[in-house]
Amino acid sequence: MPELPYSPAADRNKQPILDALTRVLAEHGTALEIASGTGQHAAWFAASMPRWTWQPTDADPRTLPALASRVEEAALPNLRQPLLLDVMSPRWPSQDAAFAEGEGEKFDAIYCANMLHIAPWATCAALMQGTARHLRSSGLLITYGPYVEDGVPTAPGNTAFDQDLRARNPAWGIRRLEDVAAEARQAGLALRERRAMPANNLLLVFGF
């Protein structure tokens, strides 16, 4: 099997995120992961939470072969084959005609790490609106990543990261938590919990 893409950050944060997920999530269910990237989180969480079925996805078709190899390597009954899913698409997953808008599978959790700052701002509304379509009424949306917050000094590392992101792509940048929560409210979701995580990241929990 070819060497799989590897993110050192995903390797560092997978256990702290898992610890938070196990506190926040029910004992079992089915999770839709948005923006799976290398699939390290998907493989770790599926292995560590055997009563959760994990559906990895990503918008970039180039990531799917490696994601599929990661799934194959993990060889877990609760880790599904990856699917193409662009949050901007009115259809989740993007490749499946059966998942028309407002239809399709409902999930107990939707998990999205490190996408909002590295994608245009419109993806935030799309994430919230898609979540409203595909999350069960008792389910949770969990986002993870860096945020800026009103009244909270931004860590110097996050300020530098934000400048770097905007230099790479003016449509990118660390999002303001209050703006993300406002987009969630537009979709009928409320910010239930804000957990401080290592390296100046936050884990946010939204529900209906």
Ligand X SMILES: C[S@@+](CC[C@H](N)C(=O)[O-])C[C@H]1O[C@@H](n2cnc3c(N)ncnc32)[C@H](O)[C@@H]1O
Q: Does 109 bind ligand X (CB under 6 A)?
A: no
Among 96, 111, 97, 98, CA closest to 145: 111
Residues numbered 134 to 163 that lie near ligand X (CB under 6 A) are: none
Smallest distance, ligand X to C-beta of residue 100, A? 18
Smallest distance, ligand X to C-beta of residue 69, A? 15
Q: Which is nearer to ligand X, 32 or 115 (CB)?
A: 115
Q: Which is nearer to ligand X, 10 or 184 (CB)?
A: 10
State which of residues 18, 47, 76, 118 lies at the interface with ligand X (CB under 6 A). Answer: 118
State which of residues 114, 129, 131, 201 lies at the interface with ligand X (CB under 6 A). Answer: 114
Write out the two tokens for 196.
Answer: 């401080």
State which of residues 12, 15, 51, 60 lies at the interface with ligand X (CB under 6 A). Answer: 60
User: What Å distances lie between residue 117 and 2, 90, 168, CA to CA?
Assistant: 30, 21, 12
State which of residues 63, 78, 143, 201 lies at the interface with ligand X (CB under 6 A). Answer: 63
Write out the two tokens for 190.
Answer: 């409320």
State which of residues 113, 148, 181, 191 lies at the interface with ligand X (CB under 6 A). Answer: 113
Q: Does 21 bind ligand X (CB under 6 A)?
A: no
Cβ atoms within 10 A of the Cβ of 149, count? 12
Q: Does 35 bind ligand X (CB under 6 A)?
A: yes
CA terminus-to-terminus distance, the chain: 42
Which part of the chain contacts ligand X (CB under 6 A), choosing from 31-39, 44-52, 129-137, 185-193?
31-39
Q: Which residues bind ligand X (CB under 6 A)?
A: 7, 10, 34-37, 41, 58-60, 63, 85-88, 113-115, 118-119, 123
